[in-house]
């Protein structure tokens, strides 16, 4: 049916959703989601690191069709995958985060809602899936505490605090485009006056960077993490760690899980690929600390590589946005369905009956 020249080819890998997404979006919105910081060295390094890793499959394991379920913070998921927190999804589709969350719920994977969501948390949790709330600590600690309480009251299953954004990385595409949120897209959890002021002030700069600079806490320390730990009984996930010592400190302070991440190459350009740090981070934290990896995950074999290197799961980032931009909730469902099929195949072909078997695989090319 799709073999003709005038029909779009059937997507057979996650990257196949990028073209339709790019065609559906204004160029500056495409740049906002696709871009990294600086020369985009870290953005490229994320893929290079995952591509370099090689797996040694096992045979005659007698395992049959694999079970893909995995234990993640807040409960068991259909896949060792959660949707990464990504801001302002109404930029991509009128339904925004509601569409993404609906597709994640249907796929049985947690959806992480950003502090910079364009839809309020209560509307997302009302859909009934598993929602994690991603927290950007605010300058005013009272506002941070309020956000945490709001996420709890709305029924979120975990709090994921992002610690790699003391300020926003220099995203050159956004600076060149003078990127600003269009009318009708706003940060649903922040004071609208902040966003409006930043949009008015913008000149030769990026309005999103300006309003985050105005509202985010810039001088966070480990004490703040300890305070946050005391503020909630929900599982606490710390996102944006690359250094094994930082990961060990985060768990000592009470983090239940750590996301090894360089923010998809959007923060420090020249930062190491997150996959390269995963083995050292795994060694540095106790077995009870769950590890998630993101930055560059583009398919089922990437998920298997992350599991083999000691992760309990991954966060899926930009491919979800490609699905959302190309076809709303249906597009995200197709992305997640394709990833599930790829992971089942990768597990079976490597002789793993389940994600929990992956750490026994030998890997080459991983690490520093
Ligand atoms: C458009 C966009 C918006 C993002 N917004 C947030 C955010 O609000 N909070 C956050 O912690 N991370 C945010 N991230 C980072 C993602 O959570 C994740 O770390 C990153 O996308 C992983 O890289 P990948 O997309 O290349 O796989 C964002 C990423 C993108 C692409």
- Does the annotation count 263 as an active-site position? yes
Q: Whose C-alpha lies nearest to ligand 1, atom 3?
A: 86
Quick check: CB of 262 below 6 Å from ligand 1?
no
- pLDDT one-digit tens code per residue, 319-340: 999 999 999 999 999 999 999 9
Which residues make beta-bridge pairs with 27?
none
Distance 89 CA to ligand 1 centre (A): 11
247: pLDDT strictly greater than 80:
yes
The CB-based long-range contact list for 94-97 (8 Å cut-off, 24+ gap) reads: 95/328, 95/329, 96/185, 97/124
- pLDDT one-digit tens code per residue, 68-80: 999 999 999 999 9
125: pLDDT strictly greater than 90:
yes
What does the pLDDT read at residue 204?
Answer: 53
Distance 55 CA to ligand 1 centre (A): 27
What mean pLDDT is predicted for residues 206-222? Answer: 85
What does the pLDDT read at residue 208?
Answer: 78
Asked whether the CA dihedral 96, 327, 132, 128 is positive or negative, the reply is positive
Helix (H, G, I), strand (E, B) or coil at 257: strand
* Atom number in ligand 1 closest to CA 85: 17
Decide if 123 contacts 150 (C-beta within 8 A): no
- What's the chain's average pLDDT? 95
What does the pLDDT read at residue 137?
Answer: 97
Residue 297's nearest CA partner among 310, 287, 282, 307 is 307
Name the superfamily (CATH) of residues 76-166+216-352: Aldolase class I (3.20.20.70)
- pLDDT one-digit tens code per residue, 42-62: 999 999 999 999 999 999 998
User: If 0-12 CB within 10 Å is exposed, 13-18 middle and 19+ buried, where does residue 65 land?
Assistant: exposed
What does the pLDDT read at residue 206?
Answer: 74
Q: Whose C-alpha lies nearest to ligand 1, atom 4?
A: 86
Distance 353 CA to ligand 1 centre (A): 31
Q: Tokens standing for 141?
A: 């600690």
9: pLDDT strictly greater than 70:
yes
Q: Tokens standing for 26?
A: 């204004």
- pLDDT one-digit tens code per residue, 75-100: 999 999 999 999 999 999 999 999 99
Q: Tokens standing for 191?
A: 């004071």
What mean pLDDT is predicted for residues 150-161? Answer: 98
DSSP characters over 185-206: ---TTS-HHHHHHHHHH-SSS-
Quick check: CB of 292 below 6 Å from ligand 1?
no
2: pLDDT strictly greater than 50:
no
365: pLDDT strictly greater than 60:
yes
Percent of the chain with pLDDT over 90: 88
What mean pLDDT is predicted for residues 296-317? Answer: 98
Dihedrals phi, psi of 52, to nearest 5 degrees: -75, -25
Q: Whose C-alpha lies nearest to ligand 1, atom 5?
A: 86
Distance 263 CA to ligand 1 centre (A): 5
What does the pLDDT read at residue 1?
Answer: 44
112: pLDDT strictly greater than 90:
yes
Hey, how many other C-beta atoms are within 10 angstroms of the C-beta on 207?
20
* Atom number in ligand 1 closest to CA 264: 23
């Amino acid at each position: 049916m799709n073999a003709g020249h005038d029909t779009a080819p059937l997507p057979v890998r996650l990257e196949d959703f990028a073209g339709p997404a790019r065609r559906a979006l204004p160029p500056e919105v495409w740049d906002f989601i696709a871009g990294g910081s600086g020369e985009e060295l870290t953005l490229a390094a994320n893929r290079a690191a995952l591509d370099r890793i090689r797996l040694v499959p096992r045979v005659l394991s007698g395992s049959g069709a694999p079970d893909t379920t995995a234990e993640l913070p807040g409960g068991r998921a259909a896949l060792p995958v959660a949707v990464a927190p990504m801001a302002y999804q109404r930029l991509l589709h009128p339904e925004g985060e509601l569409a993404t969350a609906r597709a994640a719920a249907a796929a049985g994977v947690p959806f992480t809602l950003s502090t910079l969501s364009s839809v309020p948390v209560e509307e997302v949790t009302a859909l009934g899936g598993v929602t994690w709330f991603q927290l950007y600590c605010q300058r005013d600690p009272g506002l941070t505490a309020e956000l945490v309480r709001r996420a709890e009251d709305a029924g979120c299953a975990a709090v994921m605090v992002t610690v790699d954004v003391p300020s926003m990385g220099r995203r050159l595409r956004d600076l060149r485009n003078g990127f600003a949120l269009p009318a009708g897209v706003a940060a649903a959890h922040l004071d609208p006056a902040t966003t409006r002021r930043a949009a008015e002030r913008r000149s030769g700069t990026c309005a999103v960077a300006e309003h985050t600079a105005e509202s985010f806490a810039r001088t966070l320390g480990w004490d703040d993490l300890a305070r946050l730990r005391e503020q909630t009984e929900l599982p606490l996930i710390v996102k944006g760690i690359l250094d094994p010592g930082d990961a060990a400190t985060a768990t000592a302070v009470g983090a239940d899980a750590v996301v090894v991440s360089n923010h998809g190459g959007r923060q420090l350009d020249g930062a190491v690929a997150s996959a390269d740090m995963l083995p050292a981070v795994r060694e540095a934290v106790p077995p009870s600390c769950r590890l998630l990896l993101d930055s560059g995950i583009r398919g089922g074999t990437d998920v298997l590589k992350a599991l083999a290197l000691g992760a309990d799961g991954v966060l899926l980032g930009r491919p979800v946005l490609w699905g959302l931009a190309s076809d709303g909730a249906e597009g995200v469902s197709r992305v997640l369905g394709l990833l599930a099929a790829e992971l089942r195949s990768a597990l079976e072909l490597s002789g793993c009956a389940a994600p929990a078997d992956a750490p026994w695989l030998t890997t080459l090319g991983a690490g520093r």
